[in-house]
């Protein structure tokens, strides 16, 4: 984040003296990184200098971890004696490539059809900044090239903010389509966002365009919007020619065009997706709509699903098959036909389920070992796992050793791959 960001995060601590509340002269700031949040008392009384100081501390935590600033952590409301600008950590410093090599991970989805073995699997990285985290595909199976790209992305997040970095680099996100809410029946997929100006993919094969369902997308994030349109165009029987960044333009344009199905982000900046869909249906009674939600990864999807439904079922689909529940009902279809098709799809899915874990070794892990393995799957290094779980570095290494033995693997990558197959 820019130093200007920290300008707005500064505050003055107070303490009580003889029954009176007294404000200290220096500035303080709360910094949250890697799941930890601490208050720092800053040395400068000048707000601009204090903001720069907070920025330096934040950068140092990002690049060197919490241990590098332990001596500067302010647990009380009073300034830390002896803290001056000269002994603030020397950051911002660029992380070494070795640091980013340790954070490289393999993500199972979306799978490359031409990846025949581990050497062909492209790396990804999970980057966290200012309380926000995101996975980035690195586009290469070469470890050094991947580390260099991860370093470049991190530098962009720090210098340009998330909005700037998102325009330069594709992200990996989980998108869930909400076909039914009671019982809860959603499909979800993992997609990579598209960058502005990237050439659209070529639609392969000969299509009978007269029988295609016309799809529109309402999504404020340009990268997600274009990726979702690409997914729609990849599936036979569907075509997306219209995308909108918000309800205002969609409400004006969709009633004037032929649109059979509209995909709407559940959370729009100006109104909820449900309200937008209701208004569109009022203007165009024959329009069908499906709400979708976007998550950092599928773990967040499962945690963030609403409660109260009589049943829950989730089905992963490839990015090019997001309309799988209605793919067998081509042509113009009514809402009743969609509902019937969706229920039939999920009922047949339930009947074909095979019970039993695909990786029986996972059942051997303790609850804490599952937590450690979950952190490893996100690219966290041992020290970050220790900080997140509140355990010692030695304990983390002990859990990792047990995990490797129980899963019969020799590397973190092998362990994570078995975890992803759970």
Residues 8-62 pLDDT 10s: 788 887 655 556 666 666 788 888 776 677 888 887 777 888 888 888 888 777 7
Residue range 360-420, CATH number: 1.10.10.10
* pLDDT at site 89: 41
- From 194-203, 391-400, 410-419, the region with the lowest mean pLDDT: 194-203
* pLDDT at site 277: 92
Q: Where in the chain is the domain with CATH 1.10.10.10?
A: 360-420
* pLDDT at site 112: 61
298: CB partners within 8 A, 6+ apart: 174, 188, 190, 316
- From 79-88, 248-257, 398-407, the region with the lowest mean pLDDT: 79-88
Could you give the CA distance from residue 315 to residue 312 in angstroms, rounded to a whole number?
A: 10
Could you give the CA distance from residue 33 to residue 38 in angstroms, rounded to a whole number?
A: 9
* pLDDT at site 216: 95
The three-class DSSP label of residue 102 is helix
In the CATH hierarchy, which fold is given to the domain comprising 173-351? Rossmann fold (3.40.50)
The mean of the pLDDT values for the chain is 79
pTM of the full predicted structure?
A: 0.66
| DSSP secondary structure of 178-227 | EEEETTEEEEEEEEEPPPTTPPPPPPPS---GGGPEEEEEE-S-HHHHHH
Q: Report the DSSP beta bridge partners of residue 290.
A: 263
Q: Where in the chain is the domain with CATH 3.40.50.2300?
A: 173-351
* Averaged pLDDT, 196-200: 63
* pLDDT at site 33: 72
State the Cα torsion 165-168-173-179 to the nearest 10°. 110
* Averaged pLDDT, 388-402: 86
* pLDDT at site 312: 77
How many CB atoms lie under 10 A from the CB of residue 210?
6
For residue 324, CA distances in Å to 79, 186, 193, 228, 375 come to 60, 11, 21, 14, 32
Could you give the CA distance from residue 334 to residue 66 in angstroms, rounded to a whole number?
A: 56
Contact 392, 80 (CB under 8 A): no
Could you give the CA distance from residue 145 to residue 143 in angstroms, rounded to a whole number?
A: 6
Could you give the CA distance from residue 59 to residue 68 in angstroms, rounded to a whole number?
A: 11
Angle at 137 between CA 136 and CA 140, to 5 degrees: 140
Residues 288-328 pLDDT 10s: 999 999 988 887 787 667 766 667 788 899 999 999 998 87
- From 46-55, 93-102, 234-243, 355-364, the region with the lowest mean pLDDT: 355-364
- From 61-70, 249-258, 275-284, 287-296, the region with the lowest mean pLDDT: 61-70
């Amino acid at each position: 984040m820019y130093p200007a960001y920290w300008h707005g995060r500064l505050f003055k601590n107070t303490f009580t003296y003889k029954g009176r509340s007294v404000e200290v002269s220096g500035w303080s700031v709360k910094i949250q990184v890697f799941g930890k949040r601490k208050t720092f008392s800053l040395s400068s009384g000048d707000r601009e200098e204090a903001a720069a100081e907070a920025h330096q501390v934040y950068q140092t935590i990002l690049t060197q971890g919490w241990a590098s600033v332990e001596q500067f952590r302010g647990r009380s409301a009073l300034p830390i004696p002896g803290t001056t600008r000269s002994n603030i950590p020397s950051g911002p410093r660029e992380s070494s490539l070795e640091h980013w090599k340790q954070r490289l991970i393999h993500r199972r989805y979306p799978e490359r059809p031409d990846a025949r073995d581990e050497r062909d699997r492209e790396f990804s990285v999970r980057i966290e900044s200012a309380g926000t985290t995101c996975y980035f595909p690195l586009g290469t199976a070469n470890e050094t090239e991947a580390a260099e790209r991860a370093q470049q992305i991190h530098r962009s997040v720090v210098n340009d903010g998330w909005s700037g970095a998102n325009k330069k680099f594709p992200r990996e996100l989980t998108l869930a389509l909400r076909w039914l809410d009671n019982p809860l029946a959603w499909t979800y997929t993992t997609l990579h966002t598209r960058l502005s100006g990237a050439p659209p993919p070529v639609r392969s094969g000969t299509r009978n365009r007269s029988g295609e369902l016309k799809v529109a997308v309402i999504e404020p994030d340009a990268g997600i919007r274009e990726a979702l349109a690409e997914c729609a165009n990849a599936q036979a029987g569907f075509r997306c020619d219209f995308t909108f960044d918000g309800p205002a333009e969609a409400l004006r344009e969709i009633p004037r065009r032929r649109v059979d199905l509209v995909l709407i982000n559940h959370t729009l900046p100006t109104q909820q997706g449900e309200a937008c869909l209701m208004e569109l249906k009022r203007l165009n009674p024959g329009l069908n709509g499906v709400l979708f939600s976007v998550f950092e990864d599928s773990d967040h999807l499962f945690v963030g699903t609403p409660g109260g439904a009589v049943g829950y079922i989730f089905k992963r689909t490839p990015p090019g098959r997001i309309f799988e529940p209605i793919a067998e009902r081509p042509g113009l279809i009514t809402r009743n036909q969609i509902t019937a098709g969706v229920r039939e799809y999920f009922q047949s899915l339930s009947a074909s389920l095979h019970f039993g874990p695909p990786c029986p070794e996972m059942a051997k892990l303790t609850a804490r070992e599952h937590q450690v393995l979950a952190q490893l799957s996100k690219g966290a290094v041992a020290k970050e796992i220790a900080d997140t779980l509140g355990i010692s570095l030695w304990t983390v290494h002990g859990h990792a050793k047990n995990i490797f033995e129980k899963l019969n693997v020799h590397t973190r990558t092998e362990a994570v791959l078995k975890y992803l197959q759970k």
